[in-house]
């Protein structure tokens, strides 16, 4: 199981630019969603006239389902400056891949809980590290896309774009660099060094 918790108000404010389209994923049975906090955030943004649209759905980790559900919101998403995704890390990665040219923000951190883990139909994964980095990595998870789970950039060992640990995979940080370049957000690589808090990487119930 896993828990999604809203990021701090300060962090959210720094992420949310202009008009916001909100995607709430009430997920699978294995996810605990911060319903009250998400509703309060949506209300506050609506009072500021900043909500371009909202969809509350489930299983956004399934891109085929999600693209059908988003069809009627296409204009609102196109007009929005930011797509805010309130879900586990898999959901955010799915939406980021679907809108590679769009500013897609992870509004939640994802924490592990003991028990059954949901099964996603995707290659992308979330290791529930408790401190989601997707907002500074262009929506590609550095914990699962990099063999060393590096959070501050490439190790320097990649050759021809392949990971030095596993030649069968692309270097995750080369993918992250390309995605950030695509959305014009290479500036985020200049942000202060990330210090990973491994205490958040533990089961919440421990
Ligand atoms: S950085 Fe990766 S492992 Fe951590 S919460 Fe985000 S998607 Fe999950
Ligand atoms: S080559 Fe790339 S993916 Fe592999 S460990 Fe180094 S930074 Fe991570």
Q: What is the pLDDT along the chain (206 residues), one digit of tens a residue?
A: 678 899 999 999 999 999 999 999 987 766 678 889 999 999 999 999 999 999 999 989 889 999 999 999 999 999 999 999 999 999 999 999 999 889 999 999 998 876 555 556 567 789 999 999 999 999 999 999 999 999 999 999 999 999 999 999 999 999 999 999 988 889 988 888 888 888 887 765 55
Residue 129 tokens read as 């590290």
Residue 156 tokens read as 């320097």
Atom of ligand 2 nearest to the CA of 153: 7
Most informative mutation of 11, 85, 111, 144 for ligand 1 (most atoms within 8 A of CB): 144
Strands 2-6 and 108-112: antiparallel
Query: Is the pTM above the cut of 0.85?
Result: yes
Q: Give phi and psi for 86, each to the nearest 5.
A: -105, 95
Report the alpha-carbon distance of residue 140 to residue 162 in Å, rounded: 16
In short, whether 129's Cβ falls inside 6 Å of ligand 1 is yes
Ligand 2: lining residues by beta carbon, under 6 Å: 146-148, 150, 154-155, 157-158, 163-165, 171-173
Cα(168) to ligand 2 centroid in Å equals: 12
Count other C-beta atoms under 10 Å from residue 105's C-beta. Answer: 24
> Tokens 């262009």 sit at which residue?
138
Cα(36) to ligand 2 centroid in Å equals: 39
Of the candidates 103, 101, 88, which has an alpha carbon nearest to the alpha carbon of residue 143?
88
Contacts of 50 (CB under 8 A, 6+ apart): 16, 18, 19, 20
Report the alpha-carbon distance of residue 188 to residue 139 in Å, rounded: 12
């Amino acid at each position: 199981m896993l828990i999604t918790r809203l990021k701090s108000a300060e962090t959210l404010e720094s992420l949310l630019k202009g008009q916001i389209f909100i995607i709430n994923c009430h997920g699978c049975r294995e996810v605990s969603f911060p319903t009250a906090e998400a509703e309060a955030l949506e209300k506050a943004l609506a009072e500021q006239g900043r909500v371009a649209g909202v969809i509350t759905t489930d299983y956004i980790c399934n891109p085929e389902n999600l693209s059908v559900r988003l069809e009627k919101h296409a204009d609102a998403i196109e007009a929005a400056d930011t797509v805010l995704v309130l879900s586990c890390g898999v959901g955010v990665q799915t939406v980021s891949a679907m809108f590679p040219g769009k500013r897609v923000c992870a509004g939640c951190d994802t924490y592990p809980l003991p028990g059954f883990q949901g099964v996603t139909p995707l290659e992308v994964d979330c290791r529930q590290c408790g401190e989601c980095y997707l907002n500074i990595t262009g929506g590609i998870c550095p914990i699962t896309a990099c063999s060393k789970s590096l959070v501050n950039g490439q190790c320097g060992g990649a050759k021809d774009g392949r990971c030095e640990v596993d030649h069968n995979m692309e270097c995750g940080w080369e993918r992250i660099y390309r995605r950030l370049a695509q959305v014009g957000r290479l500036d985020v690589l200049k942000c202060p060094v990330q210090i990973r808090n491994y205490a958040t990487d533990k089961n919440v119930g421990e």
